[in-house]
Amino acid sequence: MLTMFVIATVMTAFHELDEMCARDNGHMWGVSVCGPTVFVDPQTRHFVARRNGEITEGTMPQSIGMANTAIDWQGDRWAMVMLPLPEQAYTRRVLLAHALDPLPELLLLDEPASGLDEPAAQLLERLLAALCREDRVTVLMVSHDLAQARRIADRVTVLARSVRADGPAAEILAAGRLVELVGLG
C-alpha cells in the first residue's frame, strides 16, 4: 500500500483541487472540472481516490492504462494523476488542471505540421484522427497543405478573401474543383 507520506501528499493535492474548483464555482470555461479524482502509483498500481467526498484506497485494475489523463472507470469520468506529485505547487496545480480536463471539445490549430519532418507529421495526423474518432474532439485546422487536408479532413472551408466553398472534403478537394474556386491545384 501507499506510505503515510504519499497519502499526506495526496490529501494536500485533494485540498488544492478543492481550492481550484472553488475559484470558479467548480467550472472552467463553463464546464465542470471537479469530478472524481484518483492518484495512482504506476509501479504498484495502488491508488487513493475521491468521488463525491468519499476517499477510498485500492489497486487499479490492469485493464486501466497509466497516464496523467482522464479515464472512464466505475461508471464515471475520473481525473487520473500519477504519483509522485511534483514538489513545486505551481507545477502540481498545472498537472492537476490537465488531468481534470485534458481533452477540449474544440481544438484550434494553425498549420500544426509546419516545420515537422514527414514521420512527425504522419504521427500528428494519426493523433488528430484518434482524437476526432475516439474522443469526439472537433478539430478546426488552418492548413495550406492540400495533400494533408485530403488525407484527414471531413469538411473543408476554402477562404480567399471570403468563403469560396464549404462542404465535404472529398467534394471540395476534388480534382479541378479548387482551380475552379480560387485557381489552386
pLDDT value of residue 135? 67
* Residue 85 pLDDT exceeds 80: yes
User: Where a domain ends, among 100, 118, 136?
Assistant: 100
Per-residue pLDDT at 180 exceeds 80 = no
The pLDDT of residue 150 is above 80: yes
Question: What is the band of 183 on the pLDDT scale with cuts at 50, 70, 90?
Answer: low
Domain CATH number, residue 173: 3.40.50.300
- The answer on 89 and 48 residing in a single domain is yes
Which of 59, 75, 100 is at the close of a domain? 100
Regarding whether 90 and 39 lie in a shared domain, the answer is: yes
Counting the structural domains of the chain, the total is 2
The confidence band for 38, taking pLDDT boundaries of 50, 70 and 90, is very high
Q: Does the pLDDT of residue 82 top 80, yes or no?
A: yes
pLDDT for 44 beyond 90: yes
Phi, psi angle pair for 155, to nearest 5°: -135, 145
CB 40 within 8 A of CB 83: yes
CA distance 36 to 33: 9
Average pLDDT, the chain: 82
Model confidence, pTM: 0.55
Q: Are residues 95 and 125 in the same domain?
A: no
Q: What angle do CA 53, 54, 55 make, to 5 degrees?
A: 115
- Whether pLDDT at 29 is above 60: no
The answer for residues whose C-beta is within 8 angstroms of residue 148's C-beta and 6 or more apart is 113, 121, 125
pLDDT band at 25 (very low <50, low <70, confident <90, very high): low
How many Å is the maximal CA-CA distance in the chain?
A: 70
Q: Please state the separation of Cα 171 from the chain's center in Å.
A: 30
Domain that holds residue 45: 4-100
With a pLDDT cut of 70, the percent of the chain lying above it is: 85
